[in-house]
Amino acid sequence: MNPGEERQFLRSLFDTAVAAALPARVVPPHLPRPPKGRTIVLGAGKASAAMAKAVEDHWDGPLSGLVVTRYGHAVPCRQIEIVEAAHPVPDAAGEGAARRILALARAAGPDDLVLCLISGGGSALLALPAEGLTLADKQAVNRALLTSGATIGEMNTVRKHLSAIKGGRLAAAAYPARVVSLLISDVPGDDPSIIASGPTVADASTFAEARAILSRYGIALPAAVAAHLAGTNEETPKPGDKRLAGTRTVLIEQLVVRVRAQVVVVRVDDVGLGAANR
């Protein structure tokens, strides 16, 4: 194979790998059946706006809803509102969007479908503090976690227990509506309860585990956070919680797909194509 053929072959591999991971391709095959009532689309993550666009382009019937994505990642949608917010440290835009998303979930009825679009980055973008905490409290803990050396699973265990929406609380708020979650993974092992801190997935972790993680990494806590974690707080919804019994979670893209794409990018770089295509 001459250099020109090699470049063409590697470029075809790159294009195939990228296309396999695009929301426009991976979302439509997993769309659920329409409900008797309303379809409410809620979501968070760096890919959530592109996922919302894919839903709009392939959904038969009316839609409404709100998704929050990272600044610079918005995609124009006709029926689903797109809000941009900060990542990886949350901001007021993310807090406001998360509050509205939770309210929309709570307003869902038994005949409604709540279609949740979740991707990497959702933990920071769904920045709704638990009762008694402020956005500044969450920002301080988040910054400390990002520099602590904690794993993404450890970080998200803490985040769940400082949140009013993560760790299954979003799905619980939508009960008794039917909840279907489409997930794009960005975490090793593709655990749905870790992706975006699992807003629609039952959470097996505990307040005690969150306290242990923070102690392990020597993270100094704002007084309100320390009091919240030490108090007798309501736990996240656990496996078997009746409010999550009607939920369905579908992992539509795994981390390994993007890893393969990156491997192809590196190989293409070897023959001088990657720099022009990143």
Q: What pLDDT shows up at residue 17?
A: 54
Q: 183, 162 in Cβ contact below 8 A?
A: no
- Phi, psi for residue 165 in degrees, rounded to 5: -135, -25
* pLDDT at res. 271: 43
What pLDDT is attached to residue 241? 97
Give CA–CA dist 119/250, Å, rounded.
12
The confidence score (pLDDT) of residue 95 equals 98
Per CATH, which fold does 22-254 belong to? Answer: Rossmann fold (3.40.50)
Question: Of 186, 203, 204, nearest to 251 (Cα)?
Answer: 186
Sorted by sequence, the CB contacts under 8 Å of residue 29 that are 6+ apart come out as 252
Domain limits, the chain? 22-254
Q: What residues contact residue 178 under an 8 Å CB cut-off, 6+ apart?
A: 32, 35, 112, 113, 114, 246, 247, 248
Do 101 and 172 touch, CB atoms closer than 8 A? no
- DSSP category for residue 129: B
The predicted pLDDT at position 260 comes to: 43
In the three-class reduction of DSSP (H, G, I as helix; E, B as strand; rest coil), residue 146 is classed as: helix
CA gap 169, 219 in Å, rounded:
25
- Residue (of 167, 173, 196) closest to 103 by Cα position: 173
Return the pLDDT at 273. 42
What pLDDT is stored for residue 275 in this prediction? Answer: 37
Cβ atoms within 10 Å of 248's Cβ, excluding its own: 11
The whole-number pLDDT of residue 263 equals 44
Q: What is the per-residue pLDDT for 20?
A: 58
Stretches in the chain below the pLDDT threshold 70: 9-21, 232-233, 255-278
Which residues are bridge partners to 83 per DSSP? Answer: 68
139-191 pLDDT tens trace: 999 999 999 999 999 999 999 999 999 999 999 999 999 999 999 998 889 99
Give residue 268's pLDDT.
Answer: 43
pLDDT in tens, 195-204: 999 999 999 9
Tell me how far apart the alpha carbons of residues 100 and 198 are, in angstroms, rounded to a whole number: 18
pLDDT given for residue 244 in this prediction: 97
Its sign, for the CA torsion 211, 143, 135, 129, is negative
pLDDT at position 278 is 32
